[in-house]
Structure 1
Amino acid sequence: MAEDPLNTRPSSFQERTLGLVEELIRQDTSNPPGNEYRAARPLMRFLLNEGLDVELIESSRSRSSVVARMRGVSASAGPPGLLLSHLDVSPVQRSFWSTSPFTPTVQSGYLWGRGAIDLKTLVAAHAVGLAEFARHNPSPHIDVMLLAAADETRGGKAGIRAIEEHRSDILDCAWVLGEGSFSYPTLLGSKDPVFTYCPQEKTALWLVVEAQGAGGHSSVPRESTAVTRLVGALAAIGSIQSPRHAGHIQEEFIEVMMRASESDRSRVETAIAESPAFSAMFTDTVSITIVEAGMEPSVVPSAAKATLDCRLLPDTDPSQFIADLEAVIAEFGVSVTETFRAVSGASDPRGFVPRALERALAATVPGAAMVPVVSAGYTDLRIFRARNIPAYGCHTAPITLEDRATIAGHDERVPIRSLGIAAEVIFNFLGEVNADAAKAA
């Protein structure tokens, strides 16, 4: 490639997106407890200043979601489209950060701060892209809503679920574009940028494994305790090797990456196997996220438990997965309790939304490839797929795999040059959808 297309973006999108992202990062919306009202205020100011209709949806005084709407002029426009994001962010461990996580910091071509990728850049890209589209199209053929929801990272009870229960009219839309996959300057040896989109996600399944046993003073050791049984069970779980499986979306991912990297299948499969972010798309996974036991150094605890975050391929039966897991750890006498399940559903990988997105990418980043993935994460998109609404994820700010690894971790950061691209893709995507609507009118 003679030049990097990511270096040639118009500055107006970048400047406006950067300014809004910085303001959003300043608002600590770590979940728990959320406090999304902090980020809702600057986002509402921005949208109101752009002349959009704006509404604040509150499930409680501190749990706020923002809805904005651009209304089309066509009486036959039908239900609105929806740009979906969220205002809450993952908690931080401040001692591991190189910068203050809620003080947006620009250095070395990056914007640092919690939410820089997940998900305040996309919130800002949706807002700026929609505002610019409305400014350039005073008589659009489409209705478009923006929803920046509360509580996405914790399952949506105070966000999308509350909206579904009390304001389901907001969810009656024609299509949804949200998060769930990422975009890359290069990927797995590709020569050009690669934008992934997700029509489907893995099933999220949270389990609690608990052991009980006799407690007492630790000066009198016991051969078997709640802790030793839990440790044995967790070791057995950690040794599970789940089989790899490629459905039609994974197969298309391999084929597109073969063309993008000009490599054969073997080299692409090797690159996937060496990438934790993409190897997870081909297998069920289990991560141990919380371990709890004990109150005092001198007391053997009577109970010990661990939380497992399991992400299952769409074809995996969660109930059978639990049964198989219980069989693996049966010898340790522990219990397994399901605490959360989020089943994604699926949208047509060839639907009109991906087609419009592909044309928008061609206009924004010429030469970029677009490829479907099965997202390892779960998002609020599942609520719309359950309502048979076409729903897709695409984080439109290109990042490296190293950048992606900072999500929910330490030193989260996004390339500044990607901010303008993120908003411009949204702007062009709305233009493509609007053009389709004009032709159909």
Structure 2
Amino acid sequence: MITVAQVPTAEDEVVQLCQELIRIDTSNPGDHSGPGEREAAEYVKARLEEVGLESQIFESHPGRASLVARIEGEDPGRDALLLHGHLDVVPARKEDWTRDPFGGEIADGCVWGRGAVDMKDMDAMILAVVRQRLREGRKPPRDVVLAFLADEEAGGKWGAQWLVKEHPELFEGCTEAVGEVGGFSLTVPGDKRMYLIETAEKGIAWMQLTAQGTAGHGSMVHPDNAVTALAAAVARLGSHEFPVRLTKTVRAFLERACMAYGVEFDPERPERALEEIGPLARMIGATLKNTLNPTRLDAGYKTNVIPQGATAQVDGRFLPGHEEEFFATVDELLGPDVKRDFVHYDWAVETDYEGALVAAMEAALISEDPGALPVPYCLSGGTDAKAFAHLGMRCFGFAPLRLPPELDFSGMFHGIDERVPVDGLRFGARVLDHFLDRA
């Protein structure tokens, strides 16, 4: 018979759960396939059933599986909270890595593998904490909906977006949502750590550009050349410098970061604050302005044949409140000879850094790290929060990790040799448990 003292804790289980999730190859190539998502959803379902929680698996497309469950809270009359994580990962080539990207090995104090930080670490934290609380019979203060999702790495069409469109009833009563890319630490002077809580995300505009011309022989004078028109437009987009636009979230982060580093915040030159924060400046720097990055070019089939058309793809990201300015600039740079269509579009989201849920995150962090300095920040990329915001939820990124100062955490996302510290996982499980007590 298992006594209360023998019941495994979230801290006991979280590392193993993370390893086992990494070993399920859920690579998302960006098409209709998701070879491991069903297996991962079945794994999560089995782990929840072991502690008495029923869940449902939904397939938006064969193999594209997401799982949803609801935990009854002490006060079902309160608004519900959504905890969400995605099961898919970006692909990885084994030959590029120091260790097997799907091995889930522990080495140098870290769990290694694709998804270790994006985001099977948080999936494991949620599973571990929920399993502990259900074993111990501890209800959260309000209903908590769990969602383990497909297809986030390709925009969520077959995961969060599909569920929100086809099964909104699953999220009935949810007014707030907590997901990835937040709650991680950045060491600052005085043996303190800023913990970045995501309250905003840039919008996404992946665009296909098309230029049309007249086909002809490559040896002749040919002013109506689609490749020339397209190349000129791509060059204009790629070299354009958008002006700095300080949103409320970015300004709040920079002001608090400057206080932590003991430097003066200059709103006329806010980028100077980035000099203090090391590699994270790549991510934060991209939230000071809209961005455009050409990523693909395609034209022609033979060197001496001028093609009739040429295409390119561009990754555009726009700040909350600055979408209209972004597209007006894009169209001006493209000119009349190049048209654009969306490969993928999603809106920018932002919520205020205030309220009971924010207070619960801050208190949970400080309970495990008295040197914690929680701060809001804007994510330069996008997450499934965009889909849930369409249901009116306030969305946050809060996957708590206390990290060693030398770890280039932002470089782990989609990077080679992705890994997460073992101690960080255990810390995150403890913080998440405290958070659910207060949420």
Pairwise same-fold verdict (TM > 0.5):
yes
TM-score, scaled to structure 2: 0.87
Please point out which of 255, 270, 273 is paired with 2:272. Answer: 270
Deviation per CA, 1:155-187, whole angstroms, max 9, x where unpaired? Answer: 222112221233211122142111243512415
Match of 1:30 in 2: 27
User: C-alpha separation between the residues in 2 aligned to 1:129 and 1:422?
Assistant: 10
Q: Retained in 1: the 8 A contact 2:22–2:116? A: yes
Residues 100-111 of structure 1 mapped to structure 2, 5 A cutoff: 100-111=100-111
Q: How far apart, in 1, do the equivalents of 2:152 and 2:421 lie? A: 24
Superposition deviation, residue 411 in structure 1: 2.3
Task: Kindly state the Cα deviation for residue 153 of structure 1 after the two structures are TM-superposed.
Answer: 2.1
Please give the alpha-carbon distance, in whole angstroms, between the structure 1 residues aligned to 2:121 and 2:256: 27
Q: Check the 8 A contact 1:176/1:390 in 2, yes or no.
A: yes
Equivalent pair of 1:47/1:68 in contact (CA under 8 Å): no
How big is each residue's C-alpha offset from its partner over 1:98-153, in whole Å with a ceiling of 9 and x where there is no partner? Answer: 33322223222222211111111111111112222333443544221211111122
In the alignment, which residue of structure 2 is the partner of 1:17? 14
Specify the alignment match of 2:5 in structure 1: none
The whole-number CA distance in structure 1 between the counterparts of 2:126 and 2:304 is 54
- Paired residues of 1:345 and 1:386 also in contact (CA < 8 A): no
Task: Please name the residue that 1:284 is paired with.
Answer: 290
Q: Secondary structure at the match of 1:193?
A: strand
Kindly provide the CA deviation profile for residues 316-348 of structure 1, in whole angstroms up to 9, marking residues without a partner as x.
Answer: 134x422322222327x3222233321133333
Change in Cα spacing, 1:326 to 1:175, as seen in structure 2 (3 Å) is closer
Question: Over aligned residue pairs, what C-alpha RMSD do you find?
Answer: 2.7
1:365 to 352, 365, 369: 369
CA distance in 2, matches of 1:216, 1:342: 39
Aligned partners of 1:340, 1:349: CA distance in 2, in Å?
28
| Residue identity matched to 2:184 | S
TM (norm. structure 1) is 0.86
Task: Report what 1:429 is aligned to.
Answer: 435
- Alignment equivalent of 1:325, drawn from 312, 325, 330: 330
Cα distance change of structure 1 residues 21 and 290 upon mapping to structure 2, 3 Å threshold: farther
The equivalences for 1:118-157 within 5 A come to 118-157=118-157
Deviation at 1:250, TM superposition (A): 1.9
Who is 1:8 aligned against?
none
Match of 1:416 in 2: 422
Task: Tell me the residue number matched to 1:62.
Answer: 63
Alpha-carbon distance between aligned partners in 1 of 2:402 and 2:296, rounded to the nearest angstrom: 31
**Partner residue in 2 for 1:387:** 391
State the one-letter code of the partner of 1:50: V
Q: CA, structure 1 residues 255+185, in 2 after alignment: closer, same or farther (shift >3 Å)?
A: closer
Q: In structure 2, do the counterparts of structure 1 residues 225 and 412 end up closer, same or farther at CA, with 3 Å as the change threshold?
A: farther
Q: How many residues align?
A: 419
What's the secondary structure of 2:427's corresponding residue?
Answer: helix
Contact 2:290/2:326 (CA < 8 Å) preserved in 1? Answer: no
Structure 1 pair 381–305 and aligned structure 2 pair: CA distance change class (3 A): same
The question of 1:72 aligning with 2:73 is answered yes
Find the aligned partners of 1:47 and 1:296 in 2 and give their Cα distance.
57
Deviates more, 1:127-136 or 1:304-313: 127-136
Give secondary structure in 2 for the equivalent of 1:186. strand
Q: How far did residue 257 of structure 1 move?
A: 1.2
Distance change in 2, residues 1:140/1:239 (3 Å): closer
Please state how far the C-alpha of 1:263 moved relative to its aligned partner.
2.6
Same amino acid, percent of matched pairs: 30
Matched-pair contact (CA < 8 Å) for 1:80–1:144:
yes
* Worse-superposed segment, 287-296 or 215-224: 215-224
Structure 1 residue 294: Cα displacement: 3.6
Greater mean alpha carbon deviation, residues 277-286 or residues 303-312: 303-312
Unaligned runs of 5+ residues in structure 1 are 1-10, 434-441
Q: State the match for 1:237 in structure 2.
A: 237
Q: 1: CA distance between counterparts of 2:48 and 2:204?
A: 33
Secondary structure at the aligned position of 1:158 is classed as: coil
Q: Give the Cα separation in 2 of the matches to 1:67 and 1:393.
A: 19
- Cα separation, 2, equivalents of 1:421 and 1:389: 27
Cα pair 1:150 1:156 within 8 Å, conserved? yes
The residue identity in structure 2 corresponding to 1:244 is V
Moved more, 287-296 or 126-135: 287-296
The change in CA–CA distance for 1:117 and 1:297 in structure 2 (over 3 A counts) is farther
Aligned to 1:246: 246
Secondary structure of 2:392 counterpart: coil
Q: Deviations over 1:206-264 (max 9, x none)?
A: 21122233445657786764333322222211221111121222222122212322333
> How far did residue 154 of structure 1 move?
2.0
- The amino acid that maps onto 1:323 is A
User: Relative to structure 1, is the Cα distance of residues 426 and 30 closer, same or farther in structure 2, using a 3 angstrom cutoff?
Assistant: same
Query: Structure 2: how far apart are the matches of 1:39 and 1:406?
Result: 22
Tell me, yes or no, if the aligned pair for 2:141 and 2:438 is still in contact at 8 Å. Answer: no
Q: Deviations over 1:345-379 (max 9, x none)?
A: 33331021111111100112221111011221222
Residues 242 and 21 of structure 1: is their aligned pair in 2 closer, same or farther, counting only changes over 3 Å? same
Match of 1:321, as an amino acid? Answer: F
